[in-house]
Amino acid sequence: MLKLFAHLARKRARSGGTGWVPILATLDDYKQHEIWLQSVQSAPKAIGAGAGYLADLEATGICIVEDFWSRETCALARDEVDRIIAQYPKYVNGNAKSDQRVYGANNASQLIARFANDEVLASVASAYNRELTRTAFTLAARMPAMTGNQGSGEGWHRDAFLRQFKAIIYLSDVGPDNGPFQMIRDSHRRPRVLSDMKAAKLKYMQYRLDDQDIARILASEPDRLITYTAPAGTLILVDTSTVHRGMPIKAGTRYALTNYYFPENRIDQSMYEKFDVLPAT
């Protein structure tokens, strides 16, 4: 009976609206996912330093790794990003109004491919997802300061509900004015997902949030907003089912790489077409 009730609530929630119906449907989604996570008998293991990364990720939804790349390597990578954007204008994504983005930059640069193919990070992704996972492609992003920009990702959003893992590396120093990564703490955990939906009157599977939504969520606990300023070479491993954004950039140019990880059984040609991924050159 409860399953039938949840099914009907989910069906009704998809038609829009706020209130207890989308909350109930979301509650059931998360409960079912938690049951699946606990049922996995032989989950992949994180290797090397990845075991520590995974522990942080499981505890807080994010892991910060300092000096993952040297400043010299980051400078070379910035040059590669500039080259790829200039050399392949057809693949500079037009959907991002602020970022200059190329999906699949790993297919045009041995250095960026090194980040894409990092075995330790892939092992963390697999262990976190509880199934074999790999980098589908790497996003190279360059964001110059522009009037009215909304930051990387075009404002507050989730990449997905339930679990979603990405690895981001700052290729330039990122201070308060350079578009740092921001996250709402615990916004990926079931109790917070539900209470945040109630506080901000969110719809079922609402991926994008505006500033008023965020203000309602943070009204009673403003310290849930965390801003990650850091020097070039800093690695951010994060569950992007959290509510997050790149803060609007006020000065300079922000460079970053992002590995998009997916379970192997979900990676296919339609995914590459959806993101207009630069093919191997």
- Whether the predicted pLDDT of 158 surpasses 90: yes
Identify the band that residue 209 occupies on the pLDDT scale cut at 50, 70 and 90. very high
Helix (H) / strand (E) element for 85: namely helix 71-87
**Structural domains counted in the chain:** 2
* Residue 100 and residue 16 share a domain: no
* Residue 51 and residue 4 share a domain: no
* Residue 158 and residue 91 share a domain: yes
Mean pLDDT of 210-230: 97
* Residue 105 and residue 24 share a domain: no
Q: Which two tokens stand for residue 9?
A: 């609530």
* Residue 231 and residue 120 share a domain: yes
Determine the 3-state secondary structure of 273 from DSSP.
helix
What is the chain's Cα-based Rg?
A: 19
pTM of the shown model: 0.91
* Residue 115 and residue 11 share a domain: no
* Residue 59 and residue 79 share a domain: yes
Q: Is residue 29 part of a domain?
A: yes
* Residue 128 and residue 4 share a domain: no
**Residues whose CB is less than 8 angstroms from the CB of residue 38 and which lie 6 or more positions away in sequence, other chains included:** none
* Residue 129 and residue 4 share a domain: no
Longest dimension (CA), the chain: 61
State the chain's mean pLDDT as an integer: 91
Domain coverage including residue 28 = 1-39
* Residue 15 and residue 53 share a domain: no
* Residue 34 and residue 97 share a domain: no
Determine the 3-state secondary structure of 174 from DSSP.
strand
- Whether the predicted pLDDT of 143 surpasses 70: yes
* Residue 121 and residue 238 share a domain: yes
Nearest Cα residue to 183 out of 229, 138, 234, 148: 229
